[in-house]
Amino acid sequence: MGRVTTKILPVLLLTLLVLAGCNRKLNYRDGQYRSAREMVRLKKTGRYSSSRPTGKSKTIGTTSSGARTKVVTKRPLRTGNATGTLASVIETARSYQGTPYLYGGTTRLGLDCSGLLQLSFGEAGVSIPRSSNEQAVWGIPVRTTELRPGDLVFFGASPGSRTITHVGLVTVVDDEGVDFIHASTSLGVVENSLESDYYLSRFIRAVRPQL
C-alpha cells in the first residue's frame, strides 16, 4: 500500500501544478486578473470570449462594482451614425482608450471623466467647460430614448443619486443598444453599455451639445 501511495503522490502533485497553471492562464486577460465571479458574469452576458476573431480591437474592461462591460476582442468597432464634428470627437475619445484614470488629469498620462470630454471636443475645435457639473448644462437636455452619438450622459456616485459626479460620451446608438466612453476610476478610459443595471441606476441626465 505504501509503495502504491508513493507512486500516486508524484502524479497527484503534477496534476495539481498543471491545473493551477491552467487556472492562472484562464483568469488572466489583458493585464488584469479576473475573479471566477467576474468570469461567470461575463459569460452570462455573452461578453466573454477566449477566441480572438479578426477585426479591429476594442479595448473594454470590467469594473469592481459589477457593471456589465465588454472585454477586448478583435472585431469591428460599432461606429453608430455620428457625422462631422461629433464623429471626430468620438474618434478622438476612442484614441484615449487604455489611458489610466487621474483626478484632474488632462493628458495621455492620465485623465478624469470631464477631462476626457474637454480634450476630445477641444481637439475638434470645440471649447467646453471643465467640470462635469458645468458640462451638464452645456447643451439641450434629451431623453434616453432620443440619444445620439455625441450626446453627453451624466451619473451619480450611487443608485438614485441626483448629484452629478461622472460624465461620459455616447459613441453608439443602434439595435444592440447604447454605448458610451468615459474615464473609469478603476480602469481608465473604457466603453460601457448604458443599459447595464449599474449605470442605469446611477443615470441622472443627458444633454446634446449645441455646436
Active site residues: 113, 166, 182
> Cell digits for 138?
452645456
Kindly state the cell numbers that stand for 46: 455573452
**Do the beta carbons of residue 190 and residue 184 sit within 8 Å?**
yes
Check if the beta carbon of residue 79 is closer than 8 Å to that of residue 172: yes
Question: Would you say 90 and 152 are in contact if contact means Cβ atoms under 8 Å apart?
Answer: no
Grid cell digits, residue 16: 495539481
Grid cell of 50 as nine digits = 477566449
Start-to-end CA distance of the chain, whole Å, equals 83
